[in-house]
Each structure stands twice: as C-alpha cells, then as structure tokens.
C-alpha cells in the first residue's frame, strides 16, 4: 500500500514520539492523552453540545413506537434499544491473577453484545442514522406532516413503498453493515453493504437473509468504504452511511451517556470526584467509542475517565492521536501489518473528524495482543458464561492495564486518583457477541482454550 506521508515526515514523527517504536514492534502500549484539557474548557470549542445529544435522544424516543412494532423483541423497553450492565466480580479475580495486579474498585460489563436487532454497539449510532435519514426524507417529501405524530406510521405500507425508491449504502467490516442493513430493510429501503476482506461469512449471510445486497471486496476496510462511497455518489437517490465522516453516526452513540447514568443511579452507584468512573471502549474507526465518551463527559465531566482499546496490530486511533496527524497516517506507514482476528476493529486509518474531536476528550488508550483477546474470550465464557466476539474483548482487560503499567499508575497519581480507586467503578464495553453463530463461537472458544 502506498504511503500517505513522506519518508522524511515519517522519520520526524518517530524522532519526536519515542512510543512509536514500541507500537511498531507490536508491544502493548498504555497511552495517556497529555493534551486533553479539562472538560469545561474542551466543550467550549467542540463542534457539538448537549443540545445535539438531546436532539438525538428525542428522535429515538419518537421512533420507539415504530421500533416496537417492527421488532417485538424491544417490547420490554417499549422500543428503546438499550443494554444492561453486569458486575463480573469473578472475572475480576481472574484478571488480577492473569495480569498479576490488584484492581481497586468494582468491575462491570456494559452488555452491548445483547443489544436488540443487531447485537452489537453499532445498533446505537447506525440505527440512529438510518432513522434520522428516513425522518428527513419523509418530512421533505411531505409524507410525514410533523414530528408530533405517532411514528408507528413508519411501519405502514405507504411509508414502506415510499422508501423502496431510495437506497442506503455502507462500507464495513461487518457490524455497522448489520445495523444499517436490518433497519434500512425494515423501513423498506434498498440497502447495499460493501464488505471488506475481514468481514465474517455469517455476517454476510445474515444480511442477505434480510434482503440486503452484499458486495464482497478482497481488500481492507478503507477500500471497501471508498468503493461504497463511489457507487452511492453515482445514484442521486442513494444515501451513504459514512463510517469515517458521519456526524449522525457519532451523535447516535452519544445517547449512551444519559442512559448509563440512569442505570448506575438505579443500582445506587455514585459517580463523583471521590467515586471515579473508568470506561474502556473497543475502538475501530472511532465513532462508537468517541460518541459514547462525548456523551459520558457531558454527564459526568472530569469524573469519568474514558480509554479506547485497539489491537496491537491495528492501532489506528493511537497513531493518529500520538502523531497529531489523525487520518493523515495509516498503520501501513509504520510497517504495521494489520493482522487481527478482532475484525470489528480492523481499521487501518482512523476517522479524521472523530480523532480530531476526541483528542480533547479521550483520556487515553491502550493496545492488546491477539492472544490476550483469545484467552479472555474463553475465560469469560468459562467463568461468567458470557460469550463475546473477539473485538468485544478489547475493553475487558482495561482495568488490568491501568493498574499494571507505569503509565496507568502515573495517570492515577497525576490526577489525584490513587487514594480514591477503592471507590471506583470500572466498565468494560462489550461491543458484540450474541448474534455470533454457535459454530463460530465454539471456534473462538477453542482458539483461546488451545493457547
């Protein structure tokens, strides 16, 4: 793959950033965002505000009757797509033993692997973007008279027929396409999903079972997105869900902040200066961890500490932020091979829009090895009976990396948190798993068992 920066520029970057050498040698890195300002300062210059988060929340509330009508599995939440949180205290002990650390505070799992409809974190932002596009079209064409009507009307034959004249296209490694495809098809859109080489066969089969047109590419995520965007641009009635640049995708994820607060409140879990919250989020292109972090920061400010997690062989966000080049660098510029079984995180270049925004909000990030993800996947099944897909394990060892690295300990000391960690809550965001076929999950399980 051609370099996106010159050799001279690359050498300058390496000289200025000593950690780059460790990244290039596939070592685990725990990275602290030294340039992040306090939240009150960061939000002043942000492109979005709490009003944008509230707008997204209101839209999802409007669509709840439609979602409940089309997807009966959401009846218990009245059409709201949300997941629970589980304490995994037994697994916490396993992490402590595996990494030889003491993890102060409680450890919980945010169960986006069980999100209805699509079974992954992408059910948040991707479904939101499809719904917003449908609402916009219906309003523009006069089919929807106002936003005050019951949105169950979107399930009617008139709306389905109307949307059948329009196309939605997306490029993906898999999970984004599932969310876009299932919701787009449910509304009546023609949906085309461009799948990269990393995409699993079962995800392609699932989409096709919903009447989605899947186009397979023997190339990586970035190229699949480019091909999808090009095809979509040639059709005036096509809408492209752009994982790299989409504002709506990002804002759809932000609603997780208020929802998590409500869940923690219901469990009596306090978050304040003396009871810090740590969240560990698997990161591919950056939209979902970025959006969730943005939402959480608007709820808890500097009392929540958000870290993105990436495969050591696919650290695109880490490289973008550490070099301050954002989407202008690719992992291939640094001779990183991009080989990972965590297919949902298989993105060689981060989103410029998201990485630039989140350089003011992410507290840090870390990388993990393939064998870590495989081993943790197996152990989580054995100990907690929770099956996750490989990418969803990236956030699980976050607390162990925090307490077990010099950089992590320094972060706690510099932020006056060391003595408060007994009161801390750690949440690993489980991004997918419930829809993985039994045979595939058994294969994942055995890979970890055989290590």
Q: Which candidate, 111, 74, 182, places its Cα nearest to that of 431?
A: 111
Report yes or no on whether pTM surpasses 0.85: yes
Give residue-wise pLDDT tens across range 62-95: 999 999 999 999 999 999 999 999 999 999 999 9
pLDDT, average across residues 223-247:
90
Predicted confidence band at 4 (pLDDT cuts at 50, 70, 90)? low
Per-residue DSSP letters for 104-162?
A: -SEEEEEEGGG-TTTSBTHHHHHHHHHHHHHHHHHHHTTSS--TTS-GGGGGSHHHHHH
Q: How many CA atoms lie within 13 A of 25 on its CB side?
A: 9
Query: Could you give the CA distance from residue 284 to residue 299 in angstroms, rounded to a whole number?
Result: 24
| Axis-axis angle for helices 50-70, 287-300 (nearest 10) | 120
177 class by beta-carbon count within 10 Å (0-12 exposed, 13-18 middle, 19+ buried): buried
pLDDT, average across residues 153-158:
98
Q: CB neighbours (10 Å) of residue 84?
A: 11
Give residue-wise pLDDT tens across range 12-48: 988 889 899 999 999 999 999 999 999 999 999 999 9
Give residue-wise pLDDT tens across range 179-233: 999 999 999 999 999 988 878 898 899 999 999 999 988 888 778 888 889 999 9
Tell me the three state secondary structure of residue 394. Answer: coil
The pLDDT of residue 72: 96
pLDDT, average across residues 346-372:
96
Domains of the chain: 7-51+68-118+250-449 (3.40.50.1100), 121-249 (3.40.50.1100)
The pLDDT of residue 311: 98
The first and second tokens of residue 317, run together, are 């966000």
pLDDT, average across residues 97-112:
98
The Cα-based distances of 330 to 196, 241, 315, 349, 351 in angstroms read 17, 22, 9, 5, 11
């Amino acid at each position: 793959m051609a370099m996106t920066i010159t050799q001279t520029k690359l050498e300058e970057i390496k000289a200025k950033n000593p950690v780059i050498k460790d990244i290039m040698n596939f070592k685990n890195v725990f990275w602290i965002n030294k340039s992040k300002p306090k939240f009150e300062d960061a939000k002043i210059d942000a492109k979005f505000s709490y009003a944008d988060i509230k707008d997204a929340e209101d839209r999802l509330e409007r669509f709840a009757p439609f979602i409940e009508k089309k997807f009966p599995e959401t009846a218990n939440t009245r059409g709201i797509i949300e997941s629970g949180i589980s304490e995994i205290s037994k697994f916490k002990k396993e992490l402590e033993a595996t990494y030889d650390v003491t993890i102060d505070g409680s450890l919980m799992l945010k169960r986006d692997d069980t999100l209805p409809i699509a079974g992954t974190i992408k059910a948040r932002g991707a479904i939101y973007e499809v719904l917003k596009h449908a609402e916009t079209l219906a309003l523009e064409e006069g089919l929807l008279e106002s936003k005050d009507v019951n949105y169950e009307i979107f399930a009617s034959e008139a709306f389905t027929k109307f949307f059948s004249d329009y196309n939605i296209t997306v490029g993906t490694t898999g999970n984004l396409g599932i969310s876009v495809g299932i919701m787009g098809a449910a509304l009546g859109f023609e949906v085309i999903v461009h799948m990269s080489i990393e995409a699993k066969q079962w995800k392609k089969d699932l989409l096709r079972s919903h009447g989605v047109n899947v186009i397979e590419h023997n190339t990586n995520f970035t190229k699949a997105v480019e091909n999808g965007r090009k095809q979509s641009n040639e059709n005036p009635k096509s809408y492209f869900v752009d994982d790299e640049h989409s504002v709506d995708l990002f804002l759809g994820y932000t609603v997780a902040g208020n929802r998590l607060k409500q869940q923690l409140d219901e469990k009596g879990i306090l978050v304040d200066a003396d009871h810090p919250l740590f969240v560990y989020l698997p990161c591919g292109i950056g939209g979902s961890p970025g959006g969730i972090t943005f939402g959480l920061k608007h709820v808890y400010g500097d009392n929540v500490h958000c870290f993105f997690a990436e495969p050591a062989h696919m650290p695109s966000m880490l490289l973008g932020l550490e070099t301050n080049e954002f989407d202008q660098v690719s992992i291939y510029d640094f001779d990183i091979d991009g080989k990972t079984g965590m297919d949902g995180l298989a993105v060689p270049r981060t989103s410029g829009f998201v990485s630039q925004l989140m350089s003011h909000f992410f507290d840090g990030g870390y990388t993990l090895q393939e064998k870590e993800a495989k081993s943790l996947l197996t152990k989580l099944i054995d100990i907690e009976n929770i099956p996750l897909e490989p990418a969803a394990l990236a956030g699980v060892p976050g607390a162990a990396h925090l307490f077990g690295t010099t950089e992590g300990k320094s972060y706690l000391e510099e932020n006056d948190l060391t003595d408060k960690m007994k009161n801390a809550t750690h949440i690993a965001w489980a991004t997918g798993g419930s829809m993985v076929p039994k045979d595939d999950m058994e294969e994942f399980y055995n890979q970890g068992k055989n290590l």
